[in-house]
Structure 1
Amino acid sequence: MTDNFGIIQFAKLTEPDLSSGYTLDDNARALIAAALHYKKFRTKSALKLVSTYLNFLYQVAKPDGYFNNYINSNHIIDKQRNIQENSEDPSSRALYALALVSITKEIPKRFRKQAHSLFEKSFQKNITFSSPRAIAFYIKALHCLLSKWKEPKTLAVLRSCCEQLIILYEKSCSLDWEWFEHYLTYSNAILPEALILGYKITGEKRYLEVSEKTLDFLIKNTFKDNTYIPIGQSGWFPKEGIRQYFDQQPEDTTATVEALNVMFQVTNEKHYKELAHIAFNWFLGDNVLGQVVYDRTTGGCYDGIGKKFINLNQGAESTISYLFARLSFEE
């Protein structure tokens, strides 16, 4: 899926679809995966990928501290599409990738310095986010940095971001709806995960309390009879509405696995670890269709589960999502 420029967005079955171009979102994901893989296995191929994806992020950085998301197949920024679509989530994910690389001591110093320098250019612009998932990714980025450097400004920004999520929760929650929004959509678990990480840094019990309530609410609505069932993309799950079951996306499964593993690490409550394994098994066939989503032959991952069929395309997001989920058990 990766050429000398970056990781290609989509695939037609197992063949990369170059016409789909590239996205910051996928290359930030890929940078995180390559960094985690290199940390664990120290392979030259993973380090080469770190270099490729890091260079991609430099190519799409903007002077205001945010990033362009869409790049055409000819390596030219798609200005119209970037203007039309909000780039908060991809920009924040990119900052998390940069923060992770900058603190991973196994990665050569030159790459760590490059990553930290690009992160600082955005951080010094005092960028802000309003999208809940963008806020959550930024918290993950700041948590990375604060685990190594106890900078007062970084801590203050992390607290501010955590408070943003708390406010969203207080505005949306009710007796039977313990959540940050009036709907469950994609990558839901990153929101409670961010507050868990905020608690790890600050010791603020309110962050832990809300993260536990919201993660338990998510568990209640996505696990049934020892099977993980992500919220369906075809309509999601609105508050006081009907929960959709299809199409199920690998990215959502991964977010759940990661959040459950982090919650286990913080609370040492074993049922979170057990649920993480159940969710991971969604990739291996323990899902509503009883179909394997991870392709052992290619190392790729199918793009999702429909009502009757698996989407057999193996795009960047799906393939990286599987790798994230697998690597999260190594932390």
Structure 2
Amino acid sequence: MTDHRGTFEHACLDEPRREHGYCTDDVARVLVVTTREPDPSGEVNRLAGVSLRFLNEAQSLGGACRNRMDSAGNWTDEPSLNDCWGRCLWGLGTAVACSDVVWVRKSALVQFERAAKVRSPWPRAMAYAALGAAEVLSAQPDHRAARKLITDYAVSLPTPNDSADWPWPEPRLTYANALLAEAIIAAGVALEAPNLWQRGLDLLGWLLDIETSGDHLSPTPVGGRGPGDVGPAFDQQPIEVSSLADACARAAAVDPAARWIDGVRAAASWFTGSNDSGEVMWNPETGGGFDGLHADGVNRNQGTESTLAVISTLQHAQRISLLQR
């Protein structure tokens, strides 16, 4: 799925749809999974390098970020502060904290500092940016730009919702929902604010309950989920499951409760068939993740977002398995 420019966004089965080009959202995810891979091979490090160069080209000098490049290498949109900006910071921060390649860490930090000069009005974009800042601070606790960004994020959080039935900060669950809880946990840890990270843990616990049906995950579908909605509902996307795995893995590093490790395992099991349809959601032969779970079957196209969702979730599951040996 990757050439010398970046990673193609879409696939027809396991073949990249080159005519659809590349997007920063996915390339940032590639940087996350490649730089946090333990003992990476030369090929994994090469993918990280390609991703880092792509993100550098995506950024404007002012810090905003383009999202879409066509197959000829031409940007087709203007720099913005949408989710692509936040995901860019998330990828860069992860590279700073996790890469074992010196030039990747140094280049990622320069790019991070450029993007961290600005702020987004969009909650998920800021949540991704906060995760990136938390990663930088885990490696460089005195980094001023990262600390300012994550502090601004914490200050911008809405007042907690006191409703026992619907404590979520939005009227409906939409996409990458666990991200919001994870970012609050990360901010609380980085700022040494136990009340803040407990707030994130409480939100994540509620979400995990909502998105669990019996012995398996039943994630929020593309159409969202609101109070009173009855599941299961489809089209379910792998990104929802991997976001939950990310958040549970971070929660497990803060809180010893077994439910977070169980959450990571449930996310991994969702891909192997423990889901609302009993369908395997990845292709072990290609390593690709399937694009969606429907009531009547599986979308078997293996796009980058879905494939990275599998890889990311299995990374967490493997790490937890190794820690418990």
1:242 and 1:285 map into 2 onto residues whose CA distance is 21
Letter of the aligned partner of 2:5 in structure 1?
F
The equivalent of 1:230 in structure 2 is 219
Root-mean-square deviation (CA, aligned residues, Å) is 1.8
Cα pair distance change 1:105/1:317, threshold 3 Å: closer
Letter of the aligned partner of 1:44 in structure 2?
G
Deviation at 1:209, TM superposition (A): 2.7
The equivalent of 1:305 in structure 2 is 293
The percent of aligned pairs where both chains have the same amino acid is 26
Deviation at 1:159, TM superposition (A): 2.0
Deviation at 1:208, TM superposition (A): 2.1
SS at match of 2:289: coil
SS at match of 1:62: coil
Residues 113 and 145, structure 2, Cα contact 8 Å, conserved in 1: no
Residues 236 and 244, structure 1, Cα contact 8 Å, conserved in 2: no
Q: Deviations over 1:193-243 (max 9, x none)?
A: 11111122222122123212211221121001111011111x211346566
Unaligned 5+ runs, structure 1: none
The equivalent of 1:71 in structure 2 is 69
Q: Deviations over 1:2-49 (max 9, x none)?
A: 011110010001111001110000111111111122xx1231101111
The equivalent of 1:157 in structure 2 is 149
1:156 and 1:251 map into 2 onto residues whose CA distance is 29
1:218 and 1:139 map into 2 onto residues whose CA distance is 20
Which of 165, 182, 185 is equivalent to 1:196?
185
1:5 and 1:173 map into 2 onto residues whose CA distance is 47
TM-score for both structures, normalised by structure 1: 0.91
Deviation at 1:152, TM superposition (A): 4.3
Q: Deviations over 1:291-327 (max 9, x none)?
A: 1001101011100101111001000000011111111
2:58 and 2:143 map into 1 onto residues whose CA distance is 27
Cα pair distance change 1:3/1:136, threshold 3 Å: same
Unaligned 5+ runs, structure 2: 321-325
SS at match of 1:238: coil
SS at match of 1:147: helix
- Counterpart check, 1:175 vs 2:164: yes
1:173 and 1:31 map into 2 onto residues whose CA distance is 37
- Counterpart check, 1:121 vs 2:114: yes
Residues 264 and 313, structure 2, Cα contact 8 Å, conserved in 1: no
2:114 and 2:152 map into 1 onto residues whose CA distance is 20
- Counterpart check, 1:275 vs 2:263: yes
- Counterpart check, 1:132 vs 2:126: no
- Counterpart check, 1:110 vs 2:110: no
Which of 47, 66, 85 is equivalent to 1:49?
47
Deviation at 1:117, TM superposition (A): 1.1
1:62 and 1:211 map into 2 onto residues whose CA distance is 32
TM-score for both structures, normalised by structure 2: 0.92
Letter of the aligned partner of 2:256 in structure 1?
N
1:140 and 1:69 map into 2 onto residues whose CA distance is 19
SS at match of 2:86: helix
The equivalent of 2:323 in structure 1 is none
Q: Deviations over 1:237-281 (max 9, x none)?
A: 134656671100000000101111211121111122112211220
The equivalent of 1:185 in structure 2 is 174
Q: Number of matched residues? A: 318
Letter of the aligned partner of 1:94 in structure 2?
C
Letter of the aligned partner of 1:98 in structure 2?
L
- Counterpart check, 1:24 vs 2:15: no
Cα pair distance change 1:153/1:118, threshold 3 Å: closer
